[in-house]
Structure 1
């Protein structure tokens, strides 16, 4: 039985502008979309250049080099986002990425430096991503009212889908017209476009944690007061060390019953989800004889489902009983992931993937919105870094494990086991009273 949560569109409180009509939010959305398209173009350029410069195994190693610094430094990136402000961190991060790909593009035009240069570029992007990702998650809470955060997550989901659809073909076109150097140049241009848009974004003052109400409506009173961003290079007198700030952020998660359980739910869901939907799907298509076109149709079904849910959340704005809705969506979606390995035809697989996309789009947006509404603003970068550590740092490490497991036991058992890990996340959410009863603000 498929559970479809009721989605309402309450009128925003007086003086609260809907996020999809807020020019400030739209500037941020344009910057995010441009940067995300640049990411897609960059990965196409990097993979093509790596394949042309070395063996397939060497190219795979270059593509994987970003994961290590991203996983090792992600928590520190959350401290940086909270200390210096997410907008400033995003501007600096995109500036570094732009400069790095421009330098590589110029070197590729005048010489053939080999794999070492591409590996160095991948490492630079991994380090920058460790700082950029927490700031990206922390910024929406500073741009709009708390009641608009679910809508903002829907808008971000749509922009991400658009970036995937446009960015990869744009990267391929750049490679076809001028090789990897031209594609790297296109990525740099997209990163550059994001910079004036981010500069034009205006953030509201950061209230102190004592003034920030939790989703239930009561002030939490955790942590030291936090004011507006400081000028670059200046710190508050007596500010604690970065290590102490990181410990404070982790303690903030532990003592908030919703956040603590939500982080575990996110970790289980990501660890069970990304392997089958990346490596596993490729091997499944090969096993069933669907080929690359069949795999493309299945991915299109997933993208259509996730995009549709993002659009619905953007328009409607709020899901009642958000904690219950995300837990049910994860549990039902886990069943759909397990079923994907047993459907007999491409058409059936596309239908199942559509359901997976709808449910994953809903649960992902609600997880992001609840993370932001439950976090004190002084800690939101560090909270985001912990969730991103699992999503973007540790979960990709399951790729080789998934491939090896499928080689030993086949796609069916591995998809079922991965679905079981996802289902544990949904069951934990349903069994946790604080998370099950968590609500988004009106």
Structure 2
């Protein structure tokens, strides 16, 4: 392949790499399986308790350890390798999901067992997520990062688009029994085996840092935090992600299954459709970001502000609409905006961050997205039990106001310039 042809086909070049092919196969299978557990777990909780607060507790128990262990997971990823951490996580996740399938099949599932499952799964996720967000730069060249990220994020959203609908139909088909839930956990467990095998035979994706063992884990974590706090652009992204996710993710994760169960006639099918709409919109946004020219600094700043305000308005509208298809359209638009902005920001962070700190930076940025979400979920569980419409209205309204305030933040100019510089590096 000539250099000219190669430069015109970055996705083909990335897909020609053996280890990326293995990553693609394992990730596609595992991500699809994850959607079945994503639907089955909250539906099992509601079936056992019919209590939104119990659902919020389960989500918080998964989210709190995930957030607490994420910084440690990032440091361990830099010290070992993304591949080794992901392999260990896949094996443990297989054991956990297989256990859930067995207890539901045996008819002995109780809410405290789901609490323990969520807690264990959250701890594992705290180590797995930084590794998953760091592995692509270990396999592909810097100039191909946009293509590599687009492919992985694309299959993530494609799985999220297809999986929830299939899982919702499966659970809905066996609405009178738990067979749909049992099959969902079983499918997810089997996909973790596939993921583990592909990671085990991978050859590259080695350590992020050749000197990672020269300092203690805790010193390594502090070094990463100092780097984040001294970088104005990264610091602003951290603040925006933490604020927006605190006010939105809890209401969405708790509110959508409750909304589907209480107000939408399709029930579990509606829940699957709404999750699929968001994932489908994400996929369209990701593909658009890859196909369209990279916006300049001024346009990108406007897009970021519009993105935050649109998210707030979209969530606010969920409190007043009782039509599945109108909610479907809202989630589709929200997903589109999220996918477009995410692929640009994600690639920017990977390019701007030194490889020896990539695991820690990815863990910190992911922490900004998820660190306060467990509290958000717990609050959403309490408020939605009291008034679901009020929960969506308050959370969406606050995010709209935050977007307006963001437009005047002095570091927004620094972020815009940094995005432009990253685009030049990638070219």
TM-score, normalised to structure 2, is 0.79
Question: How far does residue 52 in structure 1 lie from its aligned partner after superposition?
Answer: 5.1
**Partner in structure 2 of residue 377 of structure 1:** 355
The CA deviation at 1:99 is 1.8
Cα separation, 2, equivalents of 1:52 and 1:280 = 16
Residue aligned with 2:371, SS? helix
Counterpart check, 1:64 vs 2:65: no
Aligned to 1:252: 227
Quickly say closer, same or farther: Cα 1:327–1:52, change in 2 above 3 A.
Answer: same
Identify the residue that residue 79 of structure 1 maps to in structure 2: 75
SS at match of 1:65: helix
Deviation at 1:45, TM superposition (A): 3.6
**How far apart in 2 are the matches of 1:73 and 1:408?**
34
- In structure 1, the residue matched to 2:242 is 267
Matched-pair contact (CA < 8 Å) for 1:148–1:317: no
Distance 1:155 1:167 in 2: 17
Match of 1:25 in 2: 20
Match of 1:333 in 2: 307
Secondary structure of the 1:251 match is helix
Aligned match for 1:432, one of 407, 413, 417? 413
Are the equivalent residues in 1 in contact too, given 2:277–2:335 (CA < 8 A)? yes
Superposition CA RMSD, Å: 3.8
Q: Is 1:153–1:310's contact at 8 Å kept on the other side of the alignment?
A: no
Inter-CA distance 385–307: structure 2 relative to 1 (3 Å threshold): same
Q: C-alpha separation between the residues in 1 aligned to 2:57 and 2:379?
A: 16
In structure 1, which of residues 384, 400, 416 is the aligned counterpart of residue 397 of structure 2? 416
Give the aligned partner of residue 155 of structure 1: 151
User: Please, which of 288, 292, 295 is the counterpart of residue 312 of structure 1?
Assistant: 288
1:265/1:426 contact within 8 Å kept:
no
The 8 Å contact of residues 242 and 371 in structure 2, kept in 1 or not, is answered as: no
SS across alignment from 1:337? helix
Unpaired segments ≥5 residues, structure 1: 1-9, 208-225, 229-234
Partner deviation per Cα, 1:37-83 (whole Å, 9 max, x = no partner): 22222233433444455563545533432122112211111111111
Residue-by-residue CA offset, 1:243-291 (whole Å, 9 max, x unaligned): 1111111122233343233322332343344355445667888999898
Name the CA distance, whole Å, in 2 between partners of 1:149 and 1:351.
31
> 2:29 pairs with 19, 34, 37, which one?
34
Q: CA deviation at 1:163?
A: 2.0
Kindly state the Cα deviation for residue 89 of structure 1 after the two structures are TM-superposed.
Answer: 0.2
- The answer to whether the 8 A contact 2:60-2:375 is kept is no
Map of 2:204 onto structure 1? 203
Distance 1:178 1:357 in 2: 31
SS at match of 1:432: helix
Per-residue CA deviations over 1:94-128 (Å, capped at 9, x if unaligned) read: 11111222234345545626333332222110100
CA distance in 1, matches of 2:378, 2:271: 19
- Distance in structure 2 (CA, Å) of the matches to 1:21 and 1:313: 22
SS of alignment partner, residue 372 of structure 2: helix
Q: Is the 8 A contact 2:29 2:195 kept in 1?
A: yes
CA offsets per residue over residues 380-420 of structure 1, 9 Å max, x none?
11111111112233234324545739669575454222222
Residues 1:397 and 2:375 are matched in the alignment = yes
**Conserved in 1, the CA contact under 8 Å of 2:80 and 2:207?**
no
Indicate if the aligned counterparts of 2:37 and 2:188 stay in contact, CA closer than 8 A.
yes
Residues 130, 366 of structure 2: 8 Å contact kept: yes
Q: Residue deviations 1:9-34, cap 9 Å, x none?
A: x9765997643554432321222222
More helix by share: 2
- Answer with 119-128 or 279-288: which moved more: 279-288
Alpha-carbon distance change, 328 to 286 in structure 1, aligned in 2, over 3 angstroms: farther
Task: Select which of 108, 131, 136 maps to 1:135.
Answer: 131
Tell whether the 8 Å contact from 2:77 to 2:207 is kept in structure 1 after alignment.
no
Deviation at 1:379, TM superposition (A): 1.0
Q: Structure 2: which 5+ residue stretches go unaligned?
A: none
Residues 72 and 342 of structure 1: CA distance in aligned 2, closer, same or farther (over 3 Å): closer
Bigger shift: 73-82 or 421-430?
421-430
8 Å Cα contact 1:309-1:361 kept in structure 2: yes
- 8 Å contact 1:95–1:192 — kept in the other structure? yes
Asked if the contact 1:339/1:352 (under 8 Å) is kept, the reply is no
Asked whether the equivalents of residues 338 and 418 of structure 1 are also in contact (C-alpha less than 8 Å), the reply is yes
With 256-265 and 274-283 compared, the bigger mean Cα shift is at 274-283
Closer, same or farther: CA 335–107 of 1 in aligned 2, 3 Å: closer
Tell me the CA shift for residue 146 of structure 1: 1.5
1:309-357: CA deviation from partner (whole Å, max 9, x where unpaired): 222345x387254x65553222112332344346997677665554433
| 1:217-241 Cα deviation digits (max 9, x unpaired) | xxxxxxxxx329xxxxxx84xx221
1:232 maps to none
Contact 2:57-2:377 within 8 A present in 1 as well: no
Q: Which residue of 2 aligns with 1:44?
A: 39
**Aligned residues, how many?**
405
Task: Verify the 8 A CA contact 1:158 1:311 in the aligned structure 2.
Answer: yes
Q: CA deviation at 1:430?
A: 6.8
